[in-house]
Structure 1
Amino acid sequence: MTLKLVDHPSPNFDERNCRRPVDMVVLHYTGMPTAAAALERLSDPQAKVSSHYLIDEDGTIYRLVPEDKRAWHAGTAFWRGVRDVNARSIGIELVNPGHEFGYREFPAVQIDALIALLRDIASRHEVMPGNYVGHSDVAPLRKEDPGELFPWRRLHAAGFGRWWAADFKVSPGAPTLRAGERGGAVLELQVALDKIGYAIEGSGIYDTHTEAAVRAFQRHWRQDQVDGVSDAETTSLIHHIAEQMTVRRISSARAG
């Protein structure tokens, strides 16, 4: 697919000021009624927000900030030990009204354009599968985009991001865990969420942060249930994805 790139410069950026290379892609939805409104806001110096790219529902890609600059898209965020997510990431906004203005499925042509753009980005930056994330993954207490309708499985099929293996099964005896619970099973869940990348402390208490991380995980990997309750399937999936992340880290370390 040929990229339909339109330059629409935003003044909202600064220097990356980071010795580490770009190794993360953060996906957002615009959460505004129209593409025009989103472009205006992302280019408004008073708003102090931006992204590197915006993809309209017809597949048009707007280039707002050069990739070698830090766009202001993630805000206060964390992923896999990284606190200045903006300094290490490419931010991509997808035009969609979002949960406030009529959340809807992302058109196929829009996702086609996203995949083509990700392939283009991958020619310049090395992004590991576990570092293709949503805004809700890096800021689960504040954000819910790109949401439970975003086709993460299709991105994985195209070579971007993690998904569960074909032989995944719910673990026998996997517990259902929810807010307020305490104990070893909660601690194991928190350790697994930390391995995936979420900002979680191993307290053994199913607190607000744990509930938010579980809800963000569900938006990404268990999209038919987004309630913050880690039932047997969610619990099994969290441990399954955490194991994939761990294997990838070990393999990468050996390769290096």
Structure 2
Amino acid sequence: MNVTLHRVGDGIAVLEYEARRARDVALVVGHGYSSSKHNLDGMCAFLASHGFAVYSLDFPGHKLGASGGRLRGVDDLVGAMAAAAEFARSRGAQTIYTVGHSMGATTALVAAGGDSRFAGAVAIATGYGRPTVLDALAARGVVDLRAAYVDGLSLPELASAWEPLLDDALLGLAGRPVLFVAADRDGMVSRASVEELHRRAGEPKTLVTVSSDHTFAGDNSRAAILHWLAAMHPRRAAAAAATPLVDAPL
């Protein structure tokens, strides 16, 4: 497949994965806090190999990524995802889903909830009520929240800022499909918090659990995401018969 790096909007780095035997559906993908688009490369390449055009971005302020700048707030996250989506539309995409892992998942929900042009959203390893959990983890020193990897707000600061936006985002998404993914070994986001986020969402909605820890939940969700997307956007019968679903080599 062809993979091309672009700069969009205010310098946001976006990696475009060209779809094989395209289904005319695109995915705008955002990574988690302190990470980069590299963390979701396996998932993105896999979904592109099954016909979905993928645009994976680096959020601003993330030192492992290529966008540079500073992460000042939730608006920077949503703006970066919106810029990637506008680029996808300039490439001819009409049916676009937002997809994200952890911080990127919350961004995917907020971005799609505020823009009816998105077809729906996929939220991997994010939940409802996270600020309290993150504060408790930080206070006990249970996990390293990796603030040193980000030029800008810490994860608890971001989570406190986006929590009031989630209910409006879910309300805005009502009537469009949303997939919620929980990881069974996630030490950062409990299944209960993912279930609560799912409970608050309108229909149509789907909740699945994958075998994974938090960090690699995106890659380990790829089969579940493919199954969900393919049910809504199947290949034509002849093409499907000629092209069995197989995993993409990494």
CA radius of gyration, larger in:
1
Q: Answer whether TM exceeds 0.5 for this pair.
A: no
Larger fraction in helix: 2
Place the TM-score, normalised by the shorter chain, in its bin: 0.3 to 0.5
